[in-house]
Structure 1
Amino acid sequence: MNAHSPSAAAAAGSTVHLLGTLVTFRALAADTEGTFSLVEAVTAPGQGTPPHRQRDDAEAFYVLEGSFEFMLDGSTVTSGPGAFHYVPRGMPHGFRNTGSTPAKMLIINLPGGLHENFFREAGDAVADATQFPPMAPPDIPRLVAAAGRYGIEMLPPA
């Protein structure tokens, strides 16, 4: 088995802004033989993802800093540093930063590719992964169209 170094894009830490979250790519499908993608997500206070579900195999969240409220299959739990959540295929879920400062987590998607492509298509590239761009309402048609192309179904709020 060969060890692989992160691709130039992942090693450079390319970042997109999506729904109040700065998503920095740490390992891409191309780096993991398609097995998984890994991103670092920094979410502004009060921001996060609406409820959704996806067709990829699984998603996992590991909280590094701050406080997130996770909606997992209809239940809500608040999680701080060290919390881990596994989301199997098809489970409705979403998250929101409930704190007053940015919150950070790692997100793993299995297999690699679908989510990283969604993030790139639905998000906006940013040059500085440490600064949030001005917050603006999301482009819902763009978000829903991109989500549909990558097997993500946006759900109505609970």
Structure 2
Amino acid sequence: MTEPTQTHLTPMPGAEGFNHSVGTAPAYWWMDILWIVLADANDTGGRFSLMEELLPKGSGPGPHTHTWSDETYYMLDGEVTFLVGDEIIVARKGDYLTVPRDTRHAFRVDSETARFLNGYTPASLEAAVTELAMPAPERVLPLKGLAPMPQMTPEQLRRYGMAVVPGPNPLRPDSH
């Protein structure tokens, strides 16, 4: 076994410490979801981002990919059905799920509400949330329809490293 070199012990640029609280971090309403941005690209030198999300039953995006970020989910509460590639996965409190970049995925909240930590490596989607969402006046779910998701333009999708996957959504058989 070799000894680690000094380069392994030196923090990368942007690795300064920080402490953000779920009670004071920036919060947003978007897509009927409460998003709390715990770490963004500015905090981490762009290496990763982390958000806590509170979601209502039935919410979740259709099939899409993140073209330059790996995505993670850590379930804090509730039950969510995920599509990852061609696999259907039901995740509950305590489950950790990863979605490699360029992998088709979607999800649907099956419980009355769900709460999870959602991370991106490198940072990406939190930039869309802070740009497109409305600041949350309270840390609760928005009223249904109050904070809808506008159709993202092709330029916005590229800017945030995303692509929509056309075709049916196996989590919503009635979709086309």
TM-score of Structure 1 vs Structure 2, range by shorter chain: 0.7 to 0.9
Distance 1:84 1:155 in 2: 24
TM-score, normalised to structure 1's length? 0.85
The aligned amino acid for 1:97 is V
Residue 115 (structure 1) aligns with: 125
Q: CA–CA distance in 2 between the matches of 1:65 and 1:108?
A: 16
Q: Name the Cα RMSD after superposition.
A: 2.4
Q: 2:138 — aligned with what?
A: 128
Bigger radius of gyration: 2
The one of 105, 111, 117 aligned to 1:106:
117
Counterpart-to-counterpart distance in 1, 2:147 and 2:23: 30
Q: 1:69 aligns with which of 76, 81, 102?
A: 81
When you count strand as a share of all residues, which structure comes out higher?
1
1:43 corresponds to: 55
Question: 1:122, 1:143 within 8 Å by CA — same for their partners in 2?
Answer: no
Structure 1 CA distance, aligned partners of 2:50 and 2:164? 21
TM-score relative to the length of structure 2: 0.77
SS in 2 for 1:105: strand
The count of residues paired between Structure 1 and Structure 2 equals 155
2:27 to 15, 31, 56: 15
Structure 2 portions without partners, runs of 5+? 1-10, 170-176
- Calculate percent identity across the aligned residue pairs: 24
Q: Say if 2:167 is the partner of 1:154.
A: no
Unaligned runs of 5+ in 1: none
Q: Give the 3-state SS of the residue equivalent to 1:96 in structure 2.
A: strand
Question: What secondary structure sits across from 1:77 in the alignment?
Answer: strand
